[in-house]
Amino acid sequence: MSSQLMQAQVHVQSLPPLPLQLHTFQLPAKRFQSRKFTVKTVKANAFGLSLYNGSWKCKFRIRSSVNGGVNEVEEQKPNQQQVVRRPYPFHEIEPKWQRFWEENRTFRTPDEIDTSKPKYYVLDMFPYPSGAGLHVGHPLGYTATDILARLKRMQGYNVLHPMGWDAFGLPAEQYAIETGTHPKITTLKNIDRFRSQLKSLGFSYDWDREISTTEPGYYKWTQWIFLQLLKRGLAYQAEVPVNWCPALGTVLANEEVVDGVSERGGHPVIRKPMRQWMLKITAYADRLLEDLDDLDWPESIKEMQRNWIGRSEGAEMEFCVIDSDGGESDKKIIVYTTRPDTIFGATYLVVAPENSLLSSLVSAAQTKSVEEYKDLASRKSELERTELQKQKTGVFSGSYAKNPATGKSIPIWVADYVLGSYGTGAIMAVPAHDNREGTILNSSNPTVELDINGLSSKEAASKVIEWAQRTGNGQKKVNYKLRDWLFARQRYWGEPIPVMFLDDTDEGVPLHETELPLTLPELDDFTPTGTGEPPLAKAESWVRTTDQSSGKPARRETSTMPQWAGSCWYYLRFMDPYNTEELVDKTKESYWSPVDVYVGGAEHAVLHLLYSRFWHKVLYDIGVVSTKEPFRCVINQGIILGEVQYMACIDPDGNLISADSADTLAEHYQEVVPEEKVMKSRDSFVLKENPDICVIARAHKMSKSRGNVVNPDDVVSEYGADSLRLYEMFMGPFRDSKTWNTSGIEEQLRSLHKCIAKVTEEIEGTRFNTGISAMMEFINAAYKWDKHPRSIIETFILLLSPYAPHVSEELWSRLGYSKSLAFEPFPKANPAYLKDSTIVLPVQINGKTRGTIQVEDICTEEDAFSLALKDEKVSKYLDGKSIKKRIYVPGKILNVILDRQNIKVGA
């Protein structure tokens, strides 16, 4: 290519009086390989050309087709300060309007507002400000809520659209341990980065209301809520089995443990009993279940919560343990069952490895096997142990129990799929039956006076429960899968628990509310103590204190609250962020509650959302909030996946294997294949060089570990924030997962108002992609118009503004407006223009339909006939024919009657 000439076509905007024209010019290609050029006028009344490639600027002799002249030749050295000119200068427009919004506090929601106006509270799930910053998956939900917020402002609502940070937690503490950097420093740095990225995307947050869970002014009220729970017996201490990670020196939640190791760091995790703070969420189980029905939430999320709560009705049944002589001992195993009707089929019992009775049940011969099994079970999370797909395991205890219905001895086993925290920690096993109700057979024992033969399952269950209660063998019982919330972490970076323990009695004493906030002490050493005590135990001067009421010496609680604590109630603090006297002002809460739209990931379905509902109901009971539920509508955005990766399968000998050969893929390796070496073949992807080899094509969730994260800063830098916003909203339905890929006046009014109606409907329905489609259709129609009235252009800019606020503000400004369009009334569709103006009119020749034409609904007979003459299908029946008469029914039909001499026999 070095000896060739490179021909390029460029649009050149000259200075007056020359018009915009398309020019062709030639340049030696060898000097400009892989360079990108932009055009700029450099001389009045003649064309000049500046070509930019990064910092390079070159000016060339260009023969202009306009004046035939030749300009000067000049080449300049690299200039780092050179500004690149773009056809659409988003790099100038977007920062300009972001500064404008910030300086004018355009999106600030005043403290005192006109409460006679309707309100709209739209909220994103609290982000955790990690060091990695945002990736392009994050702005998906944020853009959606921003579009809704901008729409509602323009529709006359008082809008509350805030942002803050869920900033306590394990990641910052681990980083502190690894680097020696205080978690507060790391957290503030990460928050600054997140805030900067969010502002660069033009989101209309009220930054005056920004909050962080790590600020003492905020967590004072988190501690206050804990004290209210404590007063009502909803916070208590108990010794419970926990996921203990020795390496991290802390208790982990079930979701933080994967395959027996910590999700962060991959350290071994064991189960061991520890005295911990618990919150009695089970006391609200029925209300949490019942109130789901009234919520505008995805049904899948509501079902996940129902399953997590897991309410079931059944019975507790007693099985007497048989002693070594074969007689009944005084030990009884109580099992919980939802199918008491199957009691006659119970052939063995299963107890959890942590069941308190187990040590007294194990025989000498089985001691070693049971201890080894218990050790293995202690390394698994409850989630792993109860996974339905996993193969069930267990060991025999060496003991037997008596089935109270049959009188027979049945073995007692130990198995990890039974949890000590659920029911009684023991179950009866029935190797028969299923979930469908049927008629009971072979279930009678006259000796114990129980006969349920011939009954339905439901009738039999009731009769067994009645018999058990009468004979002392059991009782009716309602049970829940939901466990009380483990509310303590052996970490430094969390909210201190406002409780002290008296030295002389070890009695727990809550701090007085006037002593709040109890702030974290400054620590330099955040490493685990190695003793199981939390890092706060190292702050000896902080730990030692005195009870104000009694004057007795005491020591503070050194565990901290879990990260979930601060995120349980932050939506309330946004309503009144600077109140030092109460959690939230009652008048403000009653106006803004509940949150109208809450957007976030489905992964928070049974933790954050359930915990928030629990705290909210407690606050409702004590009169702090006015609604039973915190979030009226919850929407889960889809996941943005990384770009598709192609993997070829290779056997141990280095041979390629087709990915559709399932039977031969037991042992194989996967190797990344560049996209250019792959092609589509029907429903699969194959190698171009060997189409017999199918490859795996898969897009994964963006993560640092996979190296498929796309930084929004890069996209904004290259294409602009409005482009990113529009692209993400247009990728597909908001709730679906998507794969990232960087590759006449009456007629006018009808087009415009149809667009208004469609865009409004689609935004309110969170179908953002089809709203963009409607605007694209309008633009395509507008291209065909001879004139573009200002009123129509202004209206369209207002329609576009929630999606692309920067360019819309710029266009609005260039139309002569000095104020932001953020509070301009959003356009409303005129129903008169929404009716279809055209209809399909059947055309008959002598009573027989020969075609159809499209006409205006007010079309005259003459116009309809003229259109029929031009129609290819109809005209061939009319050419050269004599017409006797026309019958025209407006909007219904046009019938052309020919002279009889024109009609052929048999036609």
- The percent of residues above 70 in pLDDT, for the chain, comes to 84
Segment 90-98 mean pLDDT: 94
Distance, in Å, from the CA atom of 452 to the CA atom of 462, rounded to the nearest integer, reads 10
pLDDT at residue 74 greater than cutoff 50: no
**Contact assessment for residue 354 and residue 271, using Cβ atoms and an 8 Å cutoff:** yes
The residue ranking higher by pLDDT, 218 or 831, is 218
pLDDT tens readout for residues 749-796: 778 888 888 999 988 998 999 999 999 999 988 888 877 888 889 999
pLDDT tens readout for residues 361-417: 999 999 999 999 998 888 777 767 877 657 889 999 999 999 999 999 999 999 999
Nearest to 589 by CA among 608, 569, 604: 569
Task: List CB contacts of 321: < 8 A, sequence separation 6 or more.
Answer: 328, 329, 331, 332, 333, 361, 399, 400, 401, 412
Helix (H, G, I), strand (E, B) or coil at 819: coil
Nearest to 901 by CA among 880, 886, 887: 880
Task: List CB contacts of 342: < 8 A, sequence separation 6 or more.
Answer: 430, 432, 433
Q: Which pLDDT score is estimated for 73?
A: 34
Q: How confident is residue 44, by pLDDT bands cut at 50, 70 and 90? A: very low
Count the helices and strands in the chain (H runs, E runs).
24, 42
Helix (H, G, I), strand (E, B) or coil at 24: strand
Highest mean pLDDT among 133-142, 535-544, 692-701, 726-735: 535-544
Q: Which pLDDT score is estimated for 29?
A: 38
Distance, in Å, from the CA atom of 803 to the CA atom of 201, rounded to the nearest integer, reads 11
> Residue-wise over 123-133: b if at least 16 C-beta within 10 A, else e?
bbbbbbbbeeb
Q: Which pLDDT score is estimated for 85?
A: 64
The residue ranking higher by pLDDT, 711 or 634, is 634
- Report the alpha-carbon angle 207-725-818, nearest 5: 60
pLDDT at residue 746 greater than cutoff 60: no
The residue ranking higher by pLDDT, 389 or 423, is 423
Q: Which pLDDT score is estimated for 224?
A: 98
The mean pLDDT of the chain is 83
pLDDT at residue 881 greater than cutoff 80: yes
* Helix 745-764 / helix 138-154 crossing angle, nearest 10 deg: 120
Q: Following CA atoms 410, 414, 419, 424 in sequence, which dihedral angle do they give, to the nearest 10 degrees?
A: 40
**Contact assessment for residue 701 and residue 739, using Cβ atoms and an 8 Å cutoff:** no
Tokens 């050269």 belong to 880
Distance, in Å, from the CA atom of 806 to the CA atom of 95, rounded to the nearest integer, reads 9
**Contact assessment for residue 606 and residue 123, using Cβ atoms and an 8 Å cutoff:** no
With 0-12 CB in 10 A as exposed, 13-18 as middle and 19+ as buried, what is 599?
buried
pLDDT at residue 744 greater than cutoff 60: no
